[in-house]
Amino acid sequence: MFNEWIFPDRWQVMVATLCSVLHQRSAWRLDIITAGIVFAKGRRTVTNWFRWAGISRRYKAFYYFIGSIGRKTEVIATVLFEFMINLIYRKNNRILMGIDDTPTRRYGPKVQGAGIHRNPAVGPDGAKFVYGHIWVTLSALVRHKRWGTIGLPVLAKMYIRAKNIVDVPAHYKLGFKNKLQQAAELVNWAQDSQVTQNSVVRIQNTEGGFKTLLLQSFCVLAPVFFFLAVFQIFIFFTFHCYSAKHENSPYSKFSLPNSFLRRAFMCTNLSATAKEILEAVSDRSAIEQNFHDLKEIEGVGQQQVRNFWANVGVFHLNMWVHTMVELWAWNKPAAIISDRRNSPWDGGERRPSHADRCAGLRRQVVAKTFFETSGHSRKTRKIIRQFYKLMKLAA
């Protein structure tokens, strides 16, 4: 019924860790769906996942399983976060995290939670609004020793406009929450997980509801504007505000719109230096790279499901597969992650992209599956040579 792929040991440990918090009667389906996400090509609909995973019978149970995943995102994200902590944060005493929102386009009149939102990336058509979902996303921002800052998304909240709440079934018991309230919920989740007590959280704006974040036992880093209201917040919460032209800052050249609207950053950690604050702000670009990779490589927003919990489930499955691929490739050399032998014009030492990491994982899975299931008698030199030619086309 299902195609059996033999994944690397670290991947199997991560999947087993996520399955450990699910009901054991259905947890085995997670391994199959993640394999379908990794190998899927073309438009990344849920049916395409099933096709590449070899799911041809009893597929309705997998649809229901994806919906159940949407109801347990915090529990699953917690175990994935703990695995991440044990792997890459063992020698760190601070975890830098970022919170930002991104839209995913949807089509159709009966997509629960979808609405008209501002388009942050206006294309050639000049469309200022986009119909779809908005996701307030929490990502861990980690500095790799060779590849720079890498974002690892772990949890998200779907933002629904107040006028669109009525379109969601009442028995879901979803009340309206603005983006900053949802960001505060993400902070609460990180605090309850007991692995980020010294985290730094960066948010996008300082509109109403920001005080909720400031009451947490976290160091909050956010941009501010030099208005009277901001000065009132500054005095009330005793922030340290560092301008972009701070005399001790290594980033002294920032473009400022005018003398009345100066770009500055504030931090609730009174011992933080200007350098630490601005370095944390510069690491925020990894969030935007996450959103780009999730949409262009994992195909977030293409799954074509209508139910609210199913939409939450498919978005988080894409996020977790993205993070798991990054964790699998964390200590791998560039030669294993990316194969540029057919592209001599490309720099061999260039930072491997997320697409390179996904392709490297697929190559290793195909090779591992072939050599462990074919037997020693067929491992002739000619067969192996032809196998690698076919693997380049398949993975």
The domain locations on the chain are 9-328, 340-394
Name the nearest CA neighbour of 307 among 76, 101, 46, 122: 46
Q: How far is C-alpha 170 from the chain's CA centre?
A: 29
Question: Is the pLDDT score of 252 beyond 80?
Answer: no
Round to the nearest angstrom and report the end-to-end CA distance of the chain: 22
> For 266, phi and psi rounded to 5 degrees?
-125, 155
pLDDT average, residue stretch 88-115? 84
pLDDT of residue 204: 43
Name the nearest CA neighbour of 98 among 205, 217, 213, 203: 203
User: Which range (68-82, 115-129, 190-204) has the least confidence?
Assistant: 190-204
pLDDT average, residue stretch 66-77? 93
Residue 158 pLDDT level (bands cut at 50, 70, 90): very high
Question: Is the pLDDT score of 205 beyond 50?
Answer: no
Question: Is the pLDDT score of 166 beyond 50?
Answer: yes
pLDDT of residue 210: 47
pLDDT of residue 37: 93
Tell me the β-bridge partners of 144.
148
Tell which CATH classification among 3.30.1380, 3.30.160, 3.90.350, 1.10.8 matches the domain 9-328: 3.90.350
What's the mean pLDDT when you consider all of the chain?
77
Listed in order, strand segments (DSSP E) in the chain are 96-105, 115-118, 129-144, 148-159, 200-202, 219-225, 240-243, 263-267
Q: Is 260 helix (H, G, I), strand (E, B) or coil?
A: coil
Residue 42 pLDDT level (bands cut at 50, 70, 90): confident
Residue 135 pLDDT level (bands cut at 50, 70, 90): very high
Name the nearest CA neighbour of 158 among 73, 98, 242, 94: 73
pLDDT average, residue stretch 301-321? 93
pLDDT of residue 297: 92
Question: Is the pLDDT score of 124 beyond 60?
Answer: yes
Q: Is 87 helix (H, G, I), strand (E, B) or coil?
A: helix
Question: Is the pLDDT score of 217 beyond 50?
Answer: no
User: Which range (45-49, 164-168, 219-223, 289-293) has the least confidence?
Assistant: 219-223
User: Which range (97-101, 134-138, 390-394) has the least confidence?
Assistant: 390-394
Residue 78's Cβ-side half-sphere holds a number of Cα atoms within 13 Å equal to: 15
pLDDT of residue 29: 93
Question: Is the pLDDT score of 245 beyond 80?
Answer: no
User: Which range (21-25, 169-173, 199-203, 355-359) has the least confidence?
Assistant: 199-203
Name the nearest CA neighbour of 29 among 272, 266, 317, 241: 317
pLDDT of residue 216: 47
pLDDT of residue 71: 92
pTM: 0.82
Q: Pick the residue with more confidence: 251 or 192?
A: 192
* DSSP code of residue 41: -
pLDDT of residue 332: 86
Question: Is the pLDDT score of 262 beyond 90?
Answer: no
pLDDT of residue 3: 57
Q: Would you say 117 and 89 are in contact if contact means Cβ atoms under 8 Å apart?
A: no
Q: CA triplet 58, 62, 68: central angle to 5 degrees?
A: 140
Q: Give Cα separations from 169 to 73, 117, 166, 307, 353 (angstroms).
A: 20, 21, 7, 10, 40
Q: CA triplet 132, 134, 138: central angle to 5 degrees?
A: 150
pLDDT average, residue stretch 36-51? 91
